[in-house]
Structure formats: structure tokens, C-alpha cells
Amino acid sequence: MMEYTDVHFRHLLHLITPTMELWSEMVTAMAIVNTKHDPFYMRRFLRTSRSNGTVLQLGGSDPNMLREACEVVLENMSEHGGWTGVNLNCGCPSDKVSLKGCFGARLMENPELVGECVSAMKSVLDPVGIQVSVKCRIGVDSADTYPDLRNFITTVSQTSGCRTFQVHARKAVLDGTFSPVDNRNIPPLKYDYVYRLKEDFPDLSVTLNGGVNSISDVLSVAEACKSRGGGLDGVMVGRGVVAQPWYWCTSGEVLYGGERGGGVKSRRELIREYGIWADKEEEWEGSKKGRRRILRPVVNIFNGEMGGKRWRNRIDDIMKTAGSKRKGYKDETGDDTKLSELLEKALEVMEPSIVDQTKEETMEIMLLKEEIIQGGTDSGGGVDGVAREAIKVWNEERRERERLIKEDEGDIEEDALRAGGG
Ligand SMILES: Cc1cc2nc3c(=O)[nH]c(=O)nc-3n(C[C@H](O)[C@H](O)[C@H](O)COP(=O)(O)O)c2cc1C
């Protein structure tokens, strides 16, 4: 997501939930090609903070330019880290890209060209095993029926061999009457189109996107698709993660089972770990250029909690101290306190019980809140009921596991006492 999912935000999310696949902001192929000799931009556009599970999204509509951008990506892999996938954006509704550049969602009007673009990208990336995918809408303007979407997917997959699609389940209106924000909110979500895609193309990988804001929502859409005989290959969450990154801390455990969990245990640990990253990054970029961008990902980590606004204001105050021309840590007041220390100090505006709340406690509180919002316990039957039930079962199993571990520890202690002659 432009202005959000840069390397810093992705690093924060990686600390919270290491198993989640992460996506870059859209970078235009032209920007990559034009700056390929500039180490600053190569680092900014092409760096990942982990070796696996990150997708780079490209914008463009010129097959040659996209091919060259992919070559530049490959050339930079050893220095800036690995991408598991490269995606072509066919969903951005902004005038800037849909009118002038004629890419983004506008590309859906020309599936043959999308096929050529993807073929060009695959010619570079297939040999090294990097997957090329396409993210699109369910349609544009009046070409918004399910057959229109099916034709798009058929042409792109048949002409290029593309096997992986991410579908934002609302159409884009490109006649100039809608702003990008309108285009993300006003056209109605039609999950049904995405479920039908999975039925019609069982061999393609289909990810659903749009309006999924909670783990229950993820489970609901997965269940709804399954109940129709298909099975989604992924669910993509945008604004829901940006608004409340910490909320997703148990997504690995809940969605994939215990062994796929991991990540930090609390937000105190998160800030400690992120502080290590922040110091290194600020040392490299200098506080003037880097501080605001480095701090932006942590702004929302207490959203929805008591004191969340105090935290946001505190981070905003630290952002304002970004140095003028001085290098290194120094901020404009001449203070050279490291970001890690400023972040740890900022935690003092929050209740310790919130800062130290474990992931499991967070999930229990969320569950409670959801039940209060939805007016009671399990609705019994509907897909939402199924989703909530799945989370509840996970939670009960977790409590049981913890109880057994405690029992075990008690036994071991008793054994040790006996062995010691007690
Ligand atoms: C600020 C912002 C920036 C976005 N930037 C991108 C982008 O660079 N590439 C993209 O494919 N989608 C982008 N999107 C769209 C989201 O990826 C997603 O498709 C859309 O918001 C619907 O999903 P959601 O309801 O989970 O947010 C952006 C959305 C927002 C709000």
C-alpha cells in the first residue's frame, strides 16, 4: 500500500507475525529502471528485511520496461534481499496511473496487453523461481459482470501462463467521478465473483481482497468459499492491518496452527526489537530523511486502546524532532538520544498492563469486544458464527495446552524435590 507498506512497516509486521506474506508499496517499473544506478533508490525500492515471504508490486504497462525492471530486481537481490514474488498492479484507480500512464485498473480493459506484460516479467523471473502474479479488481466501469472478469482471467492466464491472481472484490470507476478513496469504498464488494472464480478455475491460485478487517472475517470468507466447493488460496488484508497492526499478532497461530505462529510476545518486546532496527536505519538515512518514515509504522500499535491517542501524540512529537542537516542520530534540538531509547521512554505514556499484554490476552479481549459488538454469544449457524467458533476453539485449546504445561512443570518440580530427598 502506497505510503504505508515500505520496508519499515513490513519489518514491524514481520516482528508481529512472521508467517504473514507481506507486500511492498507499488513501485513503477519506470522508477526502478530510471534509478538503477542510484544506490539510494535501489535500497529504498528493493530492500526486504527478511529472506522469504515478501512480494514486490510493480506498476506499468510496457512489457519491455517491466522486463528490464525485473532484471534490475534480480541484479539487486543479493544486496537487498529476496522477493518471493513480483506482482503486476491492475487495480489502482488513481487518475495519475489510469489516465496518464494507462496502467493500474485501466489495464483490465486490455487483457492481451496484461498477458504480454506478465510474459515479459516471467521471462526473467521464472528461471529463478520467483512467482509472477496479477492483482486486479472485479471489473472497471460498465465491464463489471462476472463474465467480464472471467474473460480477463482466462485471457491473462492463457496468454501468459500466470497462475496466481489477487482480486479486490469491488470494481473501479475510472470515468473521473470517483477519487481513489471513493474507489476503495463506494463500489459494493462482490465476494461472490471471487468465489465463482475459484469454482471456474480450480487450478489457479485465487486470493480475495477487500473489506476483510479481522481474523473472524478471514475465517468467514474462507468458510464461505469452501462451502461452495472451492477453497480460497489466500486472503489479503489492507486497511485492517494498517489501522491495527498489533491485532494480527495471533493470526499465524489461529489461521495455521501453533507451529506457524511466532513473533514477539508483547508490545514492549515489539518496541524493543523495532528500536534495534530503528537505530540502524536512522544511522544510515540520517534523522532528517529517515525519522518520520521509520517511526510511522509504530503510530497505530495502540489504536483502540486506552491511551492510544497519547501514544500517537508522543510519536508525533518525536517525529517533529527530525534533525535539520545534521547527520546521525542528532535531532534538531541537538539531542543525540537514539530512537530506541526515545521509543522505550514513549511507552511510559501507556498503562504497563497494556504494554505487557500478551498476544493471547489481546486475542481474548478482541473476542470479547467482537461478541459485545455483535450482541451476544455465537449466532449459531451463519459463517460469522463458524468463524467465531473456530477462534473460540483455538483459544480453549491454547488454555488447555498452557494448563498441561503448568501441570508438567509442577510434576517436574515435585520430582526434583523428591530426588533431592524432600
Ligand atoms: C493508502 C492506500 C494505499 C494503497 N496502495 C496500494 C498499492 O500500492 N497497490 C495495491 O495493489 N493496492 C493498494 N491499495 C489498495 C489495497 O491494497 C486494497 O486493495 C484495498 O484497500 C482493499 O482492501 P482493504 O479493504 O483490506 O483495505 C491501497 C490502499 C490504500 C488505502
Residue 157 forms part of a structural domain: yes
Residue 302 forms part of a structural domain: yes
Helix (H) or strand (E) holding 336: none
Confidence label for 75 from pLDDT (cuts 50, 70 and 90): very high
Work out the angle between the directed axes of helices 215-227 and 383-419 (0-180°, nearest 10): 120
Residue 66 forms part of a structural domain: yes
Query: Residue 91: which domain range?
Result: 7-243
- Give the C-alpha separation, 337 to 87, whole Å: 40
Phi and psi torsions of 322, nearest 5°: -50, 130
Task: Supply the pLDDT for residue 379.
Answer: 42
315, 335, 355 - which closes a domain:
355
Helix (H) or strand (E) holding 359: helix 359-373
Residue 262 forms part of a structural domain: no
Pocket test for ligand 1, best of 10, 207, 217, 239 (most atoms within 8 A of CB): 239
**Alpha carbon of 42 to ligand 1 centroid (Å):** 23
355, 387, 406 - which closes a domain:
355
Residue 254 forms part of a structural domain: no
Judge if 343 and 216 occupy the same domain: no
Judge if 332 and 391 occupy the same domain: no
Identify any residues that bridge with 27 across adjacent strands, giving them in sequence order.
58
| CATH code, 13 | 3.20.20.70
Judge if 162 and 239 occupy the same domain: yes
Atom of ligand 1 nearest to the CA of 1: 5
Closest protein CA for atom 15 of ligand 1: 1
Residues annotated catalytic, as ranges? 92
Task: Supply the pLDDT for residue 373.
Answer: 61
Taking only the tens place, the pLDDT of each residue in 195-209 is 999 999 999 999 999
Helix (H) or strand (E) holding 27: strand 22-28
Judge if 208 and 280 occupy the same domain: no
Pocket test for ligand 1, best of 2, 56, 90 (most atoms within 8 A of CB): 2
**Alpha carbon of 136 to ligand 1 centroid (Å):** 11
Does the pLDDT at position 13 exceed 90?
yes
Judge if 196 and 293 occupy the same domain: no
Look at the chain and report how many structural domains it folds into: 3
Using an 8 Å Cβ cutoff, are 149 and 133 in contact? no
Confidence label for 45 from pLDDT (cuts 50, 70 and 90): very high
Best CA proximity match to 170, nearest among 60, 57, 93:
93
Taking only the tens place, the pLDDT of each residue in 347-362 is 999 999 999 999 988 8
- Give the C-alpha separation, 197 to 211, whole Å: 18
Taking only the tens place, the pLDDT of each residue in 252-283 is 888 887 666 789 999 999 999 999 999 999 99
Number of H helices, E strands in the chain: 19, 7
Residue 260 forms part of a structural domain: no
* Residues contacting ligand 1 via CB (< 6 Å): 1-4, 25-26, 57, 89, 91-92, 135, 168, 184, 209-212, 237-240
Judge if 215 and 275 occupy the same domain: no
Q: Which range, of 81-90, 196-205, 225-234, averages the lowest pLDDT?
A: 225-234
Helix (H) or strand (E) holding 84: none
Judge if 375 and 336 occupy the same domain: no
Judge if 239 and 339 occupy the same domain: no
Average pLDDT of the chain to the nearest whole number: 88
- The CA–CA distances, whole Å, from 241 to 17, 84, 188, 236, 244 equal 11, 21, 21, 10, 5
- Give the C-alpha separation, 182 to 73, whole Å: 33
Closest protein CA for atom 18 of ligand 1: 238
Does the pLDDT at position 327 exceed 80?
no
Judge if 206 and 279 occupy the same domain: no
Strand order in the sheet with 164-168: 22-28, 54-59, 85-90, 131-137, 164-168, 205-209, 234-236
Judge if 97 and 199 occupy the same domain: yes
Using an 8 Å Cβ cutoff, are 370 and 216 in contact? yes
Cα Rg of the chain (Å, integer): 23
Judge if 209 and 92 occupy the same domain: yes
